[in-house]
Amino acid sequence: MTIGEFQTLIREMYHDKDAARGVEGTFLWLTEEIGELATALRTHVSGSASAGTKRELALEFADVLAWLATIANVVDVDLEAAIAAKYGAGCPGCGQRACNCPNSEKP
């Protein structure tokens, strides 16, 4: 599934609810999912007995991506086009496929 196909799927499933909730409410859901991903990553990396499995991590990544697509749909941004425009030719900072930006810079 491409990013565009995924965004369309999310639009078809949830757009009416998402539009009614608005950007602010939807953004709050995204931040909650990012928090859940952070928790899963922290427990996974720490190797605790309750560490998340790869499958649990994958589900959290999918949730974050779904809520990002949701916000993009609410504000009518084509994620696939945006990604291609910013990253399609390489690193936005140095223009290389393998980033050569100094570590002190955010590419």
Q: Give me the residue spans of the domains in the chain.
A: 3-76
pTM: 0.85
Structure tokens at 82: 């945006």
Residues sharing a CB contact under 8 Å with residue 51, sequence separation 6 or more, in sequence order: 43, 44
Q: Kindly state which CATH superfamily the domain 3-76 is placed in.
A: MazG-like (1.10.287.1080)
Contact 74, 18 (CB under 8 A): yes
- Of 48-52, 53-57, 63-67, 92-96, least confident by mean pLDDT is 48-52
For residue 51, the model assigns a pLDDT of: 52
